[in-house]
Chains A and B, each alone.
Chain A
Amino acid sequence: MKRILFLPYVAFIGLCLLNGHRGQAAEGKEKSVILSTTTSTQDSGLLDVLVPLFEKQTGYRVKTISVGTGQALALAAKGDADVALVHAPSLEKKYVAEGKLQNRRLVMYNDFVIIGPKNDPAKIKTAKNTGDALKRIQQSKSPFVSRGDNSGTHNLEKSLWKSAGTQPKGDWYIEAGQGMGATLGIANERNGYAITDRGTYLALRQRVTLPILVEGDKALLNVYSVMEVNPGNGPRVNTTGGKAFADFMVSPKTQDVIKSFGADKFGQPLFVPIAGKREEELGA
């Protein structure tokens, strides 16, 4: 008796699962491209504009996975994504040198700014440059909130500390371990300093009252690149789809869209398109 009941039971559960999948498989007939990217491209709303354009032009379906740059690159290196759009040049070059990612092309930049308490206890407003500003924060032991999540922003921050010749350590150095928005929230509540990309800062302007104290230094450029995934990384990498998306990002039409993006919402464009340029040519 039990045995007779058991079979249709399992079949029914299997059907339930299949049914969930069928709708998707039908749609998935058009090939899909997995894009691993950073939270900032998604949170700024840029991808909500670009992805539909790409899908319309090529017929591909894009699955956008937005995580920290560290994880985005790791996913691509394992062959779990087809193309990567990230902003951590030193880390990117490491993956390219290892052959995991290839054909690195610059797409756009925006810039980082250092925000902090209005009364500026570390006096970074008068600092000579970014390195000097960080040194002053450390010497005055003013609270500083770091992303602490191996994201592109965190990597930039680490390299800035390094070039300032110091190691941040102590009670004043707070590691959030979260995205940019949450990190800014903590900085705001603790009245501390933080490094943020301008786009996220503008988007959170309602909630974050800390003013910009340092900006415009070339060291604070936030450069986004697109890279294709080496097909050798895994058995199911969609190489042509990944290349199509990378080509799309640097095409003149897309670059035009990037150029004006954000002007209506933030009063100023969020990104500067730079396809075809070399890193040395960039200036703030």
Chain B
Amino acid sequence: MELIWNGILKAFELVFSGDAEVWSITWLSLQISGAATLISLLIGIPLGIVLAMTRFAGRSMTVAVINTGMGLPPVVVGLFISILFWRSGPFGFMELIYTTTAMIIAQVIIALPIVAGLTMASFQSLDPNLALQLFGIGASRLQVLWLLCNEARLPLLAAVMAGFGGVISEVGASMMVGGNIRGETRVLTTATVLETGKGNFDIAIALSLILLALAFALNSALTYIQQRDRIKWPSLS
């Protein structure tokens, strides 16, 4: 118990004393996972919409792959990205291993199936007649797409949260492809592993709390947007 209490005290001390290293680690975590989530959204949302609204050969295969990918273990992603980007690997010439770019690539691979899968599910839950009606009243294709996105915005925001939550919290891939290099690729999760190994449990707890606070702040902001204009269900009493 004393250990946890010391960790909480240490967390406040690190945050409020403006410890430069802790801040840069936190900022780097946000940048990497933010970029990875953004890229996953840019690819995953259109992909999910296409999968939900069109029929083509190989569609069910693609859906199966995405559904499997939603539970992709980060260490597996880390291992394959490492093998590909090691100097001795096929993409070694790009010199990307142990860089933040490699970490972003790995995190995109982790988040993309989550975003695509949840987007697909949210569009499939829309009434297909809605699109027909919108076309019927003379909406253009882009207008229809926009209105459908608006209609599906609640589950879409869930996709954003799940994607970001998945990558900010993963440690396996970041450790392997980033290398946990001080000042370069050390993020909150890998720093926590390191400090635990060093026996600095109070700092490890402090870093974990910062990670939790970060995830909570972002998710509550998104939840607010998601929930602020929900339908008011009639009272059942």
Taking the nearest CB of chain A, how far is it from the CB of B109, in angstroms? 13
Residue pair B39, A13 in contact (C-beta under 8 Å): yes
Are B100 and A24 in contact (CB-based, < 8 A)? yes
Q: Is A80 within 8 A of B86, CB to CB?
A: yes
Q: Does A99 contact B (CB under 8 A)?
A: no
Which segment, of A126-134, A136-144, A202-210, faces chain B? A202-210
Q: Is the CB of B182 within 8 A of A48?
A: yes
B199 with A24: CB separation less than 8 A:
no
Residue interface mask B9-44, A partner, CB < 8 A = 1 = 000000000000000000000011001001100110
Contacts of A179 in B (CB 8 A): 197
Do residues A63 and B101 form an inter-chain contact, with CB atoms below 8 A?
no
Could you say which residues of chain B place their CB within 8 Å of the CB of A66?
Answer: 180
Chain B's closest residue to A64 (CB) is B181
Number of B residues contacting the other chain (C-beta, 8 Å)?
35
CA distance A277 to B180 in the complex (A): 33
Stretch at the interface among B70-78, B90-98, B225-233: B90-98
Which residue on A lies nearest to B31, using beta carbons? A20
Q: For the complex, what is the distance from the CA of A236 to the CA of B97, rounded to whole Å?
A: 12
Asked if residues B182 and A64 are in contact (CB atoms below 8 Å), the reply is yes
When the two chains form their complex, are residues B181 and A63 in contact, meaning their CB atoms are under 8 A apart? yes
The smallest beta-carbon distance between A170 and chain B, in angstroms, is: 28
Interface residue count on the A side (C-beta < 8 Å): 40
Contact of B179 among A24, A51, A63, A234 (CB under 8 A): A63
Given the complex, which residues of B lie within 8 Å of A45, measured CB to CB? 198
Task: Kindly state whether residue A21 has any CB partner on chain B within 8 Å.
Answer: yes
Residues of chain A contacted by B199 (CB below 8 angstroms): 43, 181, 200, 203-207
Q: Is A146 among interface residues, defined by CB-CB distance under 8 A? A: no
Residues of A154-184 whose CB lies within 8 A of B: 179-182
In the complex, which residues of chain B have a beta carbon less than 8 angstroms from the beta carbon of A78? 86-88
Contact for B43 among A13, A64, A65, A200, CB less than 8 A: A13
Closest 6 CB pairs of A and B: A21-B101, A204-B199, A203-B199, A181-B197, A78-B88, A236-B87
Residues of A within 8 A of B (CB): 1, 9, 12-13, 16-17, 19-21, 23-24, 34, 39, 42-43, 45, 48, 51, 63-66, 78-80, 179-182, 200, 203-207, 233-237
Can you list 24 pairs linking A and B with CB atoms under 8 Å apart?
A1-B141, A1-B142, A9-B42, A13-B39, A13-B42, A16-B39, A17-B35, A20-B35, A20-B100, A34-B98, A39-B197, A42-B194, A65-B179, A66-B180, A79-B87, A80-B86, A200-B199, A203-B198, A203-B199, A206-B201, A207-B201, A236-B92, A236-B95, A237-B87
